[in-house]
Amino acid sequence: MRVELYHDILARKVFEKASTEQKARLRIERFIRERYRYYQESRELLSRKSLNFIAPYLDKLQLEPEHRSFITASREALRKRIRRRRLSVAGIVLALLVFLVAALISWSNASVQKKRAEALLEAKLAMEDGDVSRAYRLVQKANWRKGGPVSQKMAKNIILGLYNSGLRCDMAHKDSIVALDVSADGSLIMTASKDGAVKVWGKDCELKAEYSHQGAVISAQLAPGETGSLVLSAGADNALILYDYKRKKEILHHDSPDALSNACFSSDGKLWAYGTSAGKVYLYLTGRPERECYTTEVSGPVVAVDISTTRFLLAATRDSIRAIGIANPLRPTDDFRAFASPVGPVEAAAFLAESVIYIRGGQGSTLANFDGSSLALSYQKLNDAFVAQESFQWFWMNEGPSLPYQLLAGFSKKRGARASYALVYHNYTFLKYSVDFSAALSFACISPDGRLILLATSDGHYEIRDADDGILRYKISGAIENARFLGDSGWMASTAGPLAHVWCLPDSASQSPHADLRRIEKMYDKGLYEHSVNLSNTHK
């Protein structure tokens, strides 16, 4: 008993003289031995907290092999528990993600199918209202071949109705289209817009080339004749651009210090001209655009310029009209004295045919000779019978290589409008027929070959008639603000707001272009993938 007590006292003195680190190590060794004895009784390994407690001193401890095996077994058991816990958490998270994705897909499909059904219903209503252009875009939005709750029978009926209407595809701008032109062979369409963009399209509405002004486009025109790969445009940014759309390259970019009037080509495309608010008129050779070949000044801001088939250059101001003979554009010899506008402030002026000028002013419309002299008998009769009438609104003339010329004129009525078709001969104008409408006429034109006439009304309808006898060939709903026949008259391009459309015209009302549904599906699906994004952005 006395020996054991002496041993404890000695051990206590040794422990008190030990360093702090030695004391900590001795305590941890004793802790491990005690936990090992407890493990032998209960089979309970060290916890994570205990392992973290002994970890800093583990390399410095003097332990028996069984004690180190005990620590290793505890660590391995802890790693297994952590791995199992992580796998469980990952499984739960994955299950939640799968459920969430499935729910989102289901919700998205339901939402898309609902939108398709709504778009198709709107398309049906648009067809019933006669707005085939809107119906076309809504069917694109519905993407009716995708299935879902959309009525396939309804979709087929709408698709067939659209196809039989003649509408084939459409082309989009971000703002209203202000200019439309087509190439001589009818294979290309040019559109220009208030958004500043000038675009050249194929007959299938495929974009071929484009360029932009920094402001709205004032005028734009495709060059006729052999120079047909050029576009001439004038913009509100005072820029005049001559662009080669085949090479996709600017030939000329001129920034004028003054505001521009319209710019125009001659009928053969070899000359072009423009005017400015400073009263200057510039004439260029298309083949030598780097420098003007002729410049002249008029008394006031230029309202309009034009070049006649007989090689006269027209320069109109608000108060006067002036013509310059340009048979030799490098040395113009005939500079005629300006004459006052007979119809008040000039709003528009252009050559009607040969050297006869059409003038629209604040007091009505009239025809005038290029030098202000008396009109030839045929044009005087034309002026008295049509243009000078108070109800006269507009005209379209096909100036062919020889007489008679074709004339289409529009007149307002108390209720609606009247369109008259006439032939202009040397000594008289022969009225062939007139067509009355219950709504105002929004646009009319004659096909290049002179076989067909287009008459569009403000209530969203248009019709195609034989020019010779006025017999109705084709009538359909569709808003038209401007239009051109494409070459052989079998196709037509038109504009309404920010959209341009391409129509296929049947030869008669009994020859509606029916086709098998699969081919129609393919055509309209192509339209969907190529144009639906642009159309949805522009149609608000």
Percent of the chain topping pLDDT 90 = 36
Where residue 421 falls among pLDDT bands split at 50, 70, 90?
very high
Selected residue with higher pLDDT from 39 and 196: 196
Q: Annotate 201-220 with DSSP letters as a single string.
A: EETTS-EEEEEE-SS-EEEE
Whether 167 is covered by a domain: the verdict is no
pLDDT at 487 (0 to 100) = 78
Domain C-terminal end among 41, 63, 85? 63
Asked whether the predicted pLDDT for residue 540 surpasses 50, the reply is no
Phi–psi pair at 263, nearest 5 degrees: -120, 145
| Position 34 in a domain | yes
DSSP 91-109: HHHHHHHHHHHHHHHHHHH
Is residue 303 domain-resident?
no
Residue in the structure block whose two tokens are 């898309």: 112
Q: What is the pLDDT of residue 233?
A: 97
Q: What is the pLDDT of residues 87-115, one digit of tens each?
A: 888 878 887 777 777 766 665 555 656 67
Contacts of 289 (CB under 8 A, 6+ apart): 242, 251, 252
Compute the half-sphere exposure of residue 499: CA atoms within 13 Å on the CB side of its CA.
Answer: 23
Question: What is the domain extent for residue 8?
Answer: 2-63
The 10 Å CB-count burial string (b at 16+, else e) for 287-305 is: eebeebbbebebebbbbbb
pLDDT of 277 higher than 60: yes
Q: Which two tokens stand for residue 501?
A: 């459309």
Cis previous bond, 513, omega within 30: no
pLDDT for residue 412:
92
261: pLDDT strictly greater than 50 = yes
Nearest to 191 by CA among 220, 225, 216, 211: 220
Quick check: 199 pLDDT over 90? Answer: yes
The sign of the torsion formed by the CA atoms of 11, 12, 18, 22 equals positive
How many angstroms separate the Cα of 157 from the Cα of each of 115, 163, 485, 521?
Answer: 19, 10, 28, 12
Please count the residues of the chain.
540
Residue 420 covered by a domain: yes
| 159 Cβ contact partners less than 8 Å away, ≥ 6 residues apart | 139, 144, 517, 520, 521, 524
Asked if residues 452 and 442 have their Cβ atoms less than 8 Å apart, the reply is: no
Among residues 119, 118, 112, the alpha carbon closest in space to that of 135 is found at 119
Mean pLDDT across the stretch 239-259?
94
Q: Has residue 532 got a pLDDT over 50? A: no
pLDDT of residue 3: 47
- Per-residue confidence band for 5, with pLDDT thresholds at 50, 70 and 90: very low
CA distances from 169 to 210, 274, 441, 448 (A): 18, 34, 24, 22
Q: What is the pLDDT of residue 114?
A: 67
Determine the pLDDT at residue 283: 94
Question: Which of 17, 43, 63 represents a domain boundary (last residue)?
Answer: 63
pLDDT band at 192 (very low <50, low <70, confident <90, very high): very high
What is the mean pLDDT of the segment spanning 449-478? 87
Q: Give the mean model confidence (pLDDT) for residues 501-523.
A: 60
* pLDDT in the model for residue 151: 59
Residue 440 domain-assigned? yes
For residue 431, count other CB atoms closer than 10 A to its CB: 13
- Is it the case that residue 381 has pLDDT exceeding 70? yes
Q: Is 514 a residue whose pLDDT tops 50?
A: no
Q: Which residue's structure tokens are 């030598």?
A: 288
Total domains in the fold of the chain: 2
Any domain includes 451: yes
Q: Is the pLDDT confidence value at 478 over 70?
A: yes
CATH number at 455 reads: 2.40.10.480
> What's the pLDDT band for 117 if we cut at 50, 70, 90?
low
391 in helix, strand or coil?
Answer: coil
- Rounded to the nearest integer, the mean pLDDT of the chain is 81
Decide if 190 is inside a domain: no
- Identify the band that residue 420 occupies on the pLDDT scale cut at 50, 70 and 90: very high
Smallest Cα–Cα separation from 365: which of 396, 338, 386, 339? 386
Tell me which residue of 126, 217, 122, 131 sits closest to 179, measured CA to CA: 217
pLDDT at 511: 43
How large is the average pLDDT for residues 132-150?
64
Boundary (domain end) residue, out of 63, 89, 106: 63
Q: How far, in Å, CA of 351 to CA of 368, rounded?
A: 9
Asked if pLDDT for residue 388 goes beyond 60, the answer is yes
- Determine the 3-state secondary structure of 500 from DSSP: strand
134 has a pLDDT exceeding 90: no
Q: Which amino acid would we find at residue 338? A: A
CA distance 81 to 364: 97
Instruction: Please report the pLDDT score of residue 529 as a whole number.
Output: 46
Q: How far is residue 105's CA from residue 109's CA, in Å, rounded to a whole number?
A: 6
Which of 261, 210, 272 minimizes the C-alpha distance to 236? 261
pLDDT at residue 227, rounded to an integer: 56
Give the model confidence (pLDDT) of 278-324 as tens digits. 999 999 999 888 888 989 999 999 999 999 988 899 999 999 999 99
Q: What pLDDT does residue 245 have?
A: 93
Do the domain assignments include residue 11? yes
